[in-house]
Amino acid sequence: MTTTQETLVIDVPVGQPQPRHVAIIRATIDQHLLADRGGHPECGAVLTFSGTVRNHHLARQVEQLAYEAYAPMALKELNRVVDAMYREQPEVRFAQVVHRFGTMPVGASSIFLTVATPHRPAGFAALRFLIDRIKRDVPIWKKEFYADGETDWLHPEDGCCHHHLTAKPNS
């Protein structure tokens, strides 16, 4: 694990078992850089997912979000989710998970995922697995700032509706 004041990173290079880049950052997510480094020579599919700050939640206008956590624990749990994804989707050759913490405006990317697989079906399944498990299992807290001046801390699984997660509690 690499640590700076603004970033925590776990890197396992390609060529090692279950290669990955898992990071918690406070800076803007560089989606182009991450997409460019997300490939693998054995793979014909490099799939990405960017979770962005939306301008509403349950009919309330959202102006910005803040994500917070105890970063070392969150990084450890993100890494566990990647381990579980590799067990569920052994076709994956490389995975990236970058989660941004701190305050961010509407439209900003708060999480960026990349998976490289020989073929796309396993990649789509791996992305779904990652985002659902991160929301369910990683202790990251979201605070929404509304246009009316109020704020609300939300549970990580609180999304746009009650059925937005597909991961089952025992899976």
Do 30 and 12 contact (CB within 8 A), yes or no?
no
DSSP assigned state of 6: S
In this prediction the pTM is: 0.88
Please state, for a pLDDT cut of 90, what percent of the chain lies above it. 79
Q: Give the pLDDT mean for 65-69.
A: 95
Q: 80-139, pLDDT tens digit by residue?
A: 999 999 999 999 999 999 999 999 999 999 999 999 999 999 999 999 999 999 999 999
Exposure on the CB side of residue 7, measured as CA atoms within 13 A? 12
Could you tell me the domains of the chain? 19-154 (3.90.1170.40)
Q: Given the DSSP bridges, would you call strands 102-105 and 141-146 parallel, antiparallel or unpaired?
A: unpaired
Could you count the other beta carbons within 10 Å of the beta carbon of residue 23?
A: 21
Query: pLDDT tier at 6 (50, 70, 90 boundaries)?
Result: low
Query: pLDDT tier at 7 (50, 70, 90 boundaries)?
Result: confident
Query: pLDDT tier at 70 (50, 70, 90 boundaries)?
Result: very high
DSSP assigned state of 28: P
Mean pLDDT of the chain: 90
**C-alpha radius of gyration, the chain, whole number:** 16
Query: What distance separates the 2 farthest-apart alpha carbons in the chain?
Result: 51
Please classify residue 164 by burial: count the beta carbons closer than 10 Å to its beta carbon, then call 0-12 exposed, 13-18 middle and 19+ buried: exposed
Long-range pairs, 58-61, Cβ under 8 A, ≥24: 58/160, 60/144, 60/146, 60/147, 60/148, 61/146, 61/147, 61/148
